Amino acid sequence: MTHRTVGTVVLRLLLPLMALAAVALSSGSAARAGGFGLFVELPTSPDAAARYTPEQLKDGLLIVRALGCHGPGSLVAAKAEGLVDGVRVSRNVTLQSLGGDSYLVRRQWPDQGVWALSISAKSASPVGPPAERFHPVVNVLVEFDAYGGVRNVKRVPQPDGPQVRQIVKTRHLTSQNKAQEIDAALRTLAGLQAARAPR
């Protein structure tokens, strides 16, 4: 096999991942930290249907992927954050591995109240100079509407056909003020829900 042939094969293997990263960055849906990010989309996206079986995606709410140079092997975790009858509640969420640093999220919290999903990823690869090496961390928040549906879904037409990809625009959370930012987001969601309630 010639060097040119090898290069062509490698490029063909990398193009799908490069396209995914480009869509994520252009849509503002991937929270990033130094070449490391989280990408969230709906399981009903055509790309998800092409990658996974219906059994893998059964009852799925979200697909979460760690992307970037420091994405492989990342530790990804999620927690449901809610406000129920004015009381703050949190629920640990179990993620189902789909392989390749991708995870399926199923709903594991009640219908009552307002809810958001806090997702965090810690890179397995340390970065920085030897004396100051650290593991990049990314935190995002996915918000849900009063009916339990995902808010802020961006529909991106695909250049090679009529299909539309459904990418979730997440809210970036800072590590220093993560709890306060989640509380503020939940209060906003509660206000929106109260404003739409029948009088």
* Number of domains within the chain: 1
Structural domain includes residue 67: yes
Neighbours of 170 (CB within 10 A): 25
**Rounded to an integer, what distance in angstroms lies between the CA atom of residue 101 and that of residue 67?**
8
- Contact between 63 and 85 under an 8 Å Cβ cutoff? The reply is no
For the segment 63-71, the average pLDDT, to the nearest whole number, is: 80
Range of the domain at 168: 14-196
For residue 92, give every residue at least 6 positions away whose Cβ sits within 8 Å of its Cβ, in sequence order, or none: 79, 80
Give the whole-number percent of the chain exceeding pLDDT 90: 49
Structural domain includes residue 5: no
Structural domain includes residue 131: yes
pTM of the model: 0.78
Residue 2 pLDDT: 53
Structural domain includes residue 186: yes
How far, in Å, are 74, 130, 174, 183 from residue 52 at the CA level? 20, 40, 32, 35
Structural domain includes residue 105: yes
- Contact between 33 and 67 under an 8 Å Cβ cutoff? The reply is no
Structural domain includes residue 49: yes
Residue 34 pLDDT: 53
Inter-residue long-range contacts of 55-58, CB under 8 Å, 24+ positions, other chains counted: 56/96, 56/98, 56/104, 57/104
Residue 173 identity (one-letter amino acid): L
Structural domain includes residue 1: no
Structural domain includes residue 182: yes
